[in-house]
């Protein structure tokens, strides 16, 4: 099995219990037929959001420490995520940092601008948080907005699940973003770890990945994963 930590095992079980991770027949935004789907919109209660953010905060503290000045969450799913993660970081890890998010449309009255919350300053390091990244489109839209606001540095990107699918070339999307923006891109868990941990394992009275689903996931990743991928 791909090496997996206790935090990652707990996170996988949390995602299954909240129905964020589903297995069956789905169609992605890009039109691909996929046997698994990640929908963080299923995190719908205060307790679930608190738990979700706590997993992020633990992973951020492990991978990034306190080496950033603020957290940025792209609209829309990134908005509650950034707020909740910053709260968890301050409460659980003593890392009190700013957080901000963007508007889809620039406000031309009141305080104006496209960013809400912490206002970036020259030299600030920003940690971007997202739910999942498939092709990296939102990051390529996000970085110019941040750089237009101030001369910021990119501390990194933190997401929940790395689907390990190709981006716009032969590399995995997350690896491509890391190279393109010269920043670490980290996922709490990768799909291969999800697949191997859940295969044949009963969670809340149900086996979510049986042999058939696993075989379909392996075939899907072989087709759509990075060219150097091997399961």
In contact, 35 and 70? CB cutoff 8 Å? no
What are the counts of helices (DSSP H) followed by strands (DSSP E) for the chain? 7, 10
**90-129 pLDDT tens trace:** 999 999 999 999 987 665 544 556 899 999 999 999 999 9
**15-66 pLDDT tens trace:** 999 999 999 999 877 778 899 999 999 999 999 999 999 999 999 999 999 9
- The three-class DSSP label of residue 126 is strand
In contact, 116 and 102? CB cutoff 8 Å? yes
For the domain covering 6-224, report its CATH number: 3.40.50.2020
Task: Name the pTM for this structure.
Answer: 0.92
**128-158 pLDDT tens trace:** 999 988 777 788 889 999 999 999 999 999 9
| Domain ranges, ordered by start, for the chain | 6-224
Catalytic positions, written as ranges: 107, 109
């Amino acid at each position: 099995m791909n090496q997996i930590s206790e935090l990652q095992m707990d996170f996988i079980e949390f995602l299954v219990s909240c129905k964020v991770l589903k297995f069956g027949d789905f169609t992605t935004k890009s039109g691909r037929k996929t046997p698994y789907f990640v929908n963080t919109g299923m995190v719908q209660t205060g307790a679930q959001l608190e738990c979700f953010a706590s997993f992020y905060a633990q992973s951020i503290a492990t991978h990034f420490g306190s080496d950033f000045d603020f957290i940025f969450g792209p609209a829309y799913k990134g908005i509650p995520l950034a707020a909740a993660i910053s709260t968890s970081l301050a409460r659980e890890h003593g890392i009190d940092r700013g957080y901000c998010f963007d508007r889809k449309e620039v406000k031309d009255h009141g305080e104006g601008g496209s960013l809400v919350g912490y206002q970036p300053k020259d030299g600030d390091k920003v940690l971007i948080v997202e739910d999942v990244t498939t092709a990296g489109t939102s990051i390529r839209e996000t970085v110019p907005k941040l750089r237009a606001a101030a001369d910021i540095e990119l501390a990194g990107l933190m997401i929940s699940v790395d689907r390990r699918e190709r981006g716009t070339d032969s590399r995995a999307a997350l690896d491509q973003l890391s190279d393109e923006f010269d920043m670490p891109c980290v996922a709490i868990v990768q799909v291969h770890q999800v697949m191997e941990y859940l295969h044949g394992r009963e969670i809340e009275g149900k086996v979510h990945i049986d042999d058939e689903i696993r075989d379909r996931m392996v075939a899907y990743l072989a087709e759509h994963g990075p060219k150097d991928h091997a399961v």
